[in-house]
Amino acid sequence: MSQNVYDRVKANPKYTELVEKRSSFAWKLSAVMLVVYYAFILVIAFSPTSFAQKIGSGVTTIGIPIGFAVIIIAFVLTGIYTQRANGEFDDLTNQIKEDIRSEK
């Protein structure tokens, strides 16, 4: 693409809206994941006995399912982002493309 097309895309108000919405949403999901992950790590660091409590009479501790939950939360947040990206963000991208095509 030529510089002219880049300039037209950047000047499109829908492009600004897309960038702002996508960035804001990504930062929010990142913050959620960081809070979950660092809370997990802080509990391990400062209160390891909390996660050392056994579940039932076996050898599994409560830390194992909580660790799995941290991983599952990461997958869920990825799914949430992907769903919104394939919906709202793709719609905005397609609108921008149509606007640029119609300007020719």
Per-10-residue mean pLDDT of the chain, 104 residues long, equals 81 93 97 97 95 90 96 97 95 92 79
What was the pLDDT predicted at 56?
Answer: 87
Reported for 80-86, long-range contacts at CB under 8 A and 24+ positions apart, including other chains, are 80/29, 81/25, 81/26, 81/29, 84/25, 85/22
